[in-house]
Chains A and B, each alone.
Chain A
């Protein structure tokens, strides 16, 4: 049986519509008026033990709401979640003892104390054998480079240092499942890299089930084999990450900063329509989207350089938002797309 089973999971927030003024405030007490907001709309998936799953979608898509229901913080409005056979919001203590979690903007560590104190607490409250705890601590210290950090009070740590310690805290009791809600938010490349490698490593070696939400596609590419994309509270894709990358993530956008463009450029770009789309142009700036399976970035440059002085260029990977948008376009173009890909999620 899958370690996580989600059936028709649905969550609706009720937001109190506050009326203005004193009369309004009194009115609120007697006739509170609610509007409801569907955050998660009947989603289904199941996750096997040891999987690493990327859970992505635009801002407000419903990722955090889902994670909160999986951890038991939120009660579903309807539908069912089973985690290791338990209903998280009912069998709270039982469920808590087999999971670890990181919420990007929060910390589970004691703010005034060094991280090691929180780790020691975790050892006791999760009843981790001392030997196993010491082993984990030394492994994690090395992998995440924590040696200096774990003795400094948490409030004196930088964001990246804190997050490295936080990640260790989420894994140190050998949980079966770890939920990571935007663990790399606001971190630089080096720290992101460390964290990704760590998660990948632990997921592989200890077959800890990992569920990761992020806005950085690279997090997913490096850590997860499977990705679930959610939009407007609904699963729009569930399958292998390669397929997404091949079918949708194959586009790149190049920004050129240019000078002295000749008038011929327009005509030239026109003739290359097949390879270059969504061209936008101003006297100092050209933006071109291309399919990297059909044409390389240097070829794009070769097309443009005879007609302009290129001062600078940047290449952009597709963002999660644009992938979700493209998914929708495809869905409209071809209704079978989703069904076809939905098939992929049954491993």
Chain B
């Protein structure tokens, strides 16, 4: 309970920082909508006369585009915790952050999830409203799809966090935090399914993408939302996501223990 209170407090203060820069909201929303519009027309061209491609219908792809854009813009492109970790390693502020009375990774998790959920509401709601008017957006396929989507989404954001945390730790070995961010964006925009649904990937690329955890950040929760993954299949997807959370958690713990020695042993 106390731990949760601590995490909420950390989420809260970092959300306040976003509010300081809130004047950027409209620019952000505008860019987001513009992207949805462009992607909408591209997908309409791709579908042409067909109503269904690779198991995704023409109306589903619109919803896919809108939700994936919101996750992409708020989760993958901006406010990444990897950037923050790189920064504090570079300027030495990490030694101050190590003195807070909470585990470093839990603290960054609270920070990231707080900011993410908040910015998704702040930036995402206007995008959904405008998109609904322009193109229409469908509700979750069934009530169950909706519930499973929420669970899958939280797991997705946790996986996103762990990937960011891992990339952030590379900052201990290179000062090029910006390069890492670009690398992350390139990797994730493709392999998460944010650009093109994984179902459209050809043969072996699809097999690789299916195996990796990145598709669980965008593709998995949205296909659950759309009802394309449901029942036993959906539960399997959730378990698969959960397995990746555990694996990535272990990896980041080990990596963190090794990397932090650069500060605690070598002195930065």
Q: Does A96 contact B (CB under 8 A)?
A: yes
- Give the docked Cα–Cα distance between A97 and B101 (Å): 5
Q: Does A106 contact B (CB under 8 A)?
A: yes
Chain B interface bracket (under 10, 10 to 19, 20 to 34, 35 or more): 20 to 34
- Give the docked Cα–Cα distance between A56 and B265 (Å): 23
A151 to chain B, nearest CB (A): 13
Chain A stretch 102-117: residues in CB contact (< 8 A) with chain B? 103, 106-108, 110, 112-113, 117
Contacts of A106 in B (CB 8 A): 92-93, 95-96
Q: Name the residue among B5, B92, B264 with the largest chain A CB count within 10 angstroms.
A: B264
Chain B stretch 89-113: residues in CB contact (< 8 A) with chain A? 92-93, 95-96, 98-103
Q: Does A184 contact B (CB under 8 A)?
A: no
The A-B contact count (CB < 8 A) is 75
Contacts of A110 in B (CB 8 A): 13, 16-17
With both beta carbons as reference points, the residue of chain B lying nearest to A101 in the complex is identified as: B99
* A74 x B100 contact (CB < 8 A): no
Q: Mark A32-71, 1 if CB is under 8 A from B, else 0.
A: 0000000000000000000000000000000001001001
Contact among B5, B99, B265 with A108 in the assembled complex (CB-CB below 8 Å): B99
Interface residues of B, dominant DSSP = helix
- Give the docked Cα–Cα distance between A120 and B10 (Å): 10
* A113 x B10 contact (CB < 8 A): no
Q: How many A residues touch B, CB cutoff 8 Å?
A: 32
Contacts of A71 in B (CB 8 A): 99
Chain B stretch 218-268: residues in CB contact (< 8 A) with chain A? 261, 263-267
B83 to chain A, nearest CB (A): 15
* B93 x A14 contact (CB < 8 A): no
* A121 x B264 contact (CB < 8 A): no
B14 to chain A, nearest CB (A): 8
Contact among B5, B12, B103 with A93 in the assembled complex (CB-CB below 8 Å): B103
- Give the docked Cα–Cα distance between A89 and B98 (Å): 10
Q: Does B2 contact A (CB under 8 A)?
A: yes
- The interface stretch among A122-130, A205-213, A228-236 is A122-130
Also in contact, A73 and B99, with CB within 8 A (given A106-B93, A127-B2): yes
- Give the docked Cα–Cα distance between A237 and B102 (Å): 37
Q: Does B20 contact A (CB under 8 A)?
A: yes
* A99 x B6 contact (CB < 8 A): no
Contacts of B209 in A (CB 8 A): none
Contacts of A14 in B (CB 8 A): 266
Q: Mark A125-143, 1 if CB is under 8 A from B, else 0.
A: 1110000000000000000
* B99 x A124 contact (CB < 8 A): no
Contact among A92, A125, A126 with B98 in the assembled complex (CB-CB below 8 Å): A92
Also in contact, A112 and B101, with CB within 8 A (given A118-B13, A125-B10): no
Also in contact, A121 and B101, with CB within 8 A (given A14-B266, A89-B264, A127-B2): no
Q: Does A13 contact B (CB under 8 A)?
A: yes
Q: Name the residue among A14, A72, A75, A101 with the largest chain B CB count within 10 angstroms.
A: A75
- Give the docked Cα–Cα distance between A72 and B10 (Å): 22
Also in contact, A73 and B9, with CB within 8 A (given A108-B99, A127-B2): no
A114 to chain B, nearest CB (A): 10
Contact among B9, B92, B96, B267 with A124 in the assembled complex (CB-CB below 8 Å): B9
Contact among A89, A107, A113 with B16 in the assembled complex (CB-CB below 8 Å): A113
* B16 x A117 contact (CB < 8 A): yes
With both beta carbons as reference points, the residue of chain A lying nearest to B98 in the complex is identified as: A73
Contacts of A126 in B (CB 8 A): 101
Known: A13-B267, A73-B98, A106-B96. 18 other contacts (CB 8 A): A74-B264, A75-B261, A89-B264, A93-B102, A96-B101, A103-B95, A103-B96, A106-B92, A108-B99, A112-B20, A112-B21, A120-B9, A120-B13, A121-B9, A125-B9, A125-B102, A127-B5, A153-B20
6 A-B pairs with the lowest CB-CB distances in the bound complex, closest first = A124-B9, A97-B101, A96-B101, A75-B264, A125-B6, A73-B95
**Residues of B at under 8 Å CB distance from A?**
2, 5-6, 8-10, 12-13, 16-17, 20-21, 92-93, 95-96, 98-103, 261, 263-267
